[in-house]
A and B are shown apart, each in its own frame.
Chain A
Amino acid sequence: MAKDNERREKLCYTLPLGPQHPMYVEAENLMVRVDGETITGVEVNIGYMHRGIEELMQRKNYLQGIFLAERICGICSGIHSVTYCEAVENALGIEIPERAKYIRTITLELERLHSHFLFLGVMAYELGLDTGFMYTWRDREHVMDMLETLSGNRVNYGIPTIGGVRRDLPAGEIPGMLKRLEHLRKRAEHYVILFSSDALVRKRTLGKGNLPKGKANSHSIVGPVARASGVNTDIRRDLPYLLYDELEWNVVTRMEGDVQARVMVKAYEIFESISILKQCLNRISRTTPELKTKTSLFVKENEGMSITEAPRGELVYYLVSNGTDRPERMRIRTPTFTNVPSALPIILKGEQLADLPVIVGSVDPCFSCCDRVTIVDERTGESRGVDEAFLRKLGEENGD
């Protein structure tokens, strides 16, 4: 018996994954405790991508802040800059013109489309279906072309500015965009069939990485990951911003909470985004050509807050202004920061090591959004991220 235990202990070890690892592009570190092939616990160490944007924003004026917000994450750059502008507009107490709202909504939904196609591609890649990865990314280029028509850029669009938008959508481009959207809808139907009926995909995704509804609620999971666990939440419907309360669309939810459900939620959200885009493109000609409300960029003492639904979930910007052209305090809460460190230890526990890339991929991690805190030791110059145990200790010291 003692010998058995000894042998068993030898099989239990900690496997470090990352910071540089084939599984994902970005740098972060997972310490995976395994018993043989079964995962018994995961410790997520983030902080490799921390740049200090909040502090940097406090030293720059509001217009410069837009570009910094855009460069928090290259995948959801549009939503970051729109949310930042909305927070500043709230502090200023101004409304933006109708046409600017349309152009912002179109940018955000195009971004959601490209992000979801990207997610489907990455999932196919993690499942070993390289062909699926190539197909989805080929279709994603249509979205990138549309974004290029709209803004002139592929990644950091530079569309919103405080009080409105920078560029107009040429009326001549609308029929072409509608045609492309119709093509994308057909392709998305194909991916729904691929991910829901392919035997290999089903075997690797059904019942893997379970996140029950109760856990999703208690761990504050947001966005598509929460919706896949049956939590009926979407900021676009609960706290409507821009035009979302005037448009017709549905919140996609699933009850299962496994990898398959997370893929399906994102796949079906593609159809909702296409429907929103079509409505916006058909209605935009009714608005007046005004693009921007003129405003002073000196914000009096006030606070501004803005909550939006990024492709990965709830995004919060909060700022305190002090009468100058710079914010006194900036606070950004990104969806991946709430999802990854809290969800990964739950959904990976008890799974096989070989399923780890698929399960991690299904949360759609985006670590440049994620890394908000780094602790730098002044004496040695060493820097490290914050893990769960440290946060708990901090909470105990400060008495909740």
Chain B
Amino acid sequence: MKERLYRITDRLVSYARRKSPWILHMDTGGCNGCSIELFAVLTPRFDIERFGGVSKANPRHTDILLIDGAVTKKIRPRLRRIYEQTPEPKVVIAVGACAISKGIFHDAYNIDGPLDEVMPVDVYVPGCPPKPEAILQGVLKALKLWESRYTV
């Protein structure tokens, strides 16, 4: 009986969490292009709140990390700290060519990326910058992954 109750509450919590992912967005040395497309995702035409997503700036409250930009030398330790502060289960999305492969800045002297050398990345959204629709799709993929990680 007790076991069954636990199972039901687990499923309830999992459902509730899937409908309310909190997202942290961080720019790590890109050109802002991805950042403004990310902001467009929050606003009425694309509207991520249809899926319950809310932009939150505190890593300790965050479920999904949306990170763009080739990682600069100065930001790298901070980025690692933000990753460590985020509670499990978490999903990391790399947005844009810079975060995936350093993109156009691949041979610049102050770049210490790409993102998957700093933290494990789950979803890659390519493009320079990716269109808001692509970012939205990336978030939806991340949500599925996140749910599978949470379900006991």
**Interface residues, chain A, with chain B CB atoms under 8 Å away:** 19-23, 25-27, 47-53, 55-56, 59, 67-68, 70-75, 77, 118, 121, 133-134, 137-138, 140-141, 144, 154-156, 366, 368, 374, 376, 381, 383-385
Contacts and interface: CB of A to CB of B under 8 A. Distances in A.
Given A20-B82, A385-B74, A141 B32 contact: no
A72 B72 contact: no
B37 A26 contact: no
Nearest to B28: A27
B72 A49 contact: yes
B32 to A, nearest CB: 4
B63 to A, nearest CB: 16
B119 interface: no
B105 A22 contact: no
B105 A56 contact: yes
A393 to B, nearest CB: 20
Contact of A137 (B25, B26, B39): B39
A137 B111 contact: no
Given A23-B57, A26-B27, 7 more contacts: A25-B35, A49-B69, A56-B107, A137-B40, A154-B131, A376-B110, A384-B74
Interface in B31-70: 31-37, 39-40, 42-45, 57-59, 69-70
B138 interface: no
Nearest to A50: B110
A359 to B, nearest CB: 19
A383 B74 contact: yes
Contacts of B129: 74, 154-156
B114 to A, nearest CB: 13
B104 interface: yes
B75 A133 contact: no
B73 interface: yes
B109 interface: yes
A51 B108 contact: yes
> What 4 pairs between A and B have smallest CB-CB spacing?
A74-B33, A22-B57, A137-B43, A74-B32
B31 A56 contact: no
Contacts of B72: 48-51, 383
A118 B32 CA distance: 13
Main secondary structure of the interface of B (DSSP, over half): loop
A68 B108 CA distance: 11
B16 interface: no
A313 B108 CA distance: 27
B6 to A, nearest CB: 36
Nearest to A118: B36
B144 interface: no
21 contacts: A25-B27, A25-B39, A27-B29, A27-B75, A27-B78, A47-B74, A48-B72, A53-B108, A71-B33, A74-B33, A74-B36, A75-B32, A75-B36, A77-B31, A134-B43, A137-B43, A138-B44, A154-B131, A156-B31, A368-B29, A384-B74
B118 interface: no
B128 interface: yes
Interface of B: 25-37, 39-40, 42-45, 57-59, 69-70, 72-75, 78, 82, 104-105, 107-111, 128-129, 131
Contact of B58 (A22, A25, A366, A374): A22
A381 B129 CA distance: 30
Contacts of A75: 32-33, 36
A109 B82 CA distance: 38
Contacts of A134: 43-44
B37 A68 contact: no
A19 B40 contact: no
A65 to B, nearest CB: 11
A118 B38 CA distance: 13
A48 B74 CA distance: 5
B110 to A, nearest CB: 5
Contacts of A154: 37, 129, 131
A137 B40 CA distance: 7
A74 B31 contact: yes
A272 B103 CA distance: 37
Given A20-B26, A47-B74, A51-B108, A133 B43 contact: yes
A27 B74 CA distance: 10
Nearest to B46: A141
Contact of B111 (A25, A51, A68, A72): A51
A20 B59 contact: yes
Given A22-B57, A48-B74, A154-B131, A27 B27 contact: yes
Contacts of B34: 74
Contacts of A155: 33, 36-37, 129
Contacts of B82: 20
A121 B36 CA distance: 12
Contact of B73 (A21, A22, A376): A376
B90 to A, nearest CB: 15
Contact of B30 (A70, A74, A141, A374): A74
Contacts of B26: 20, 25, 27
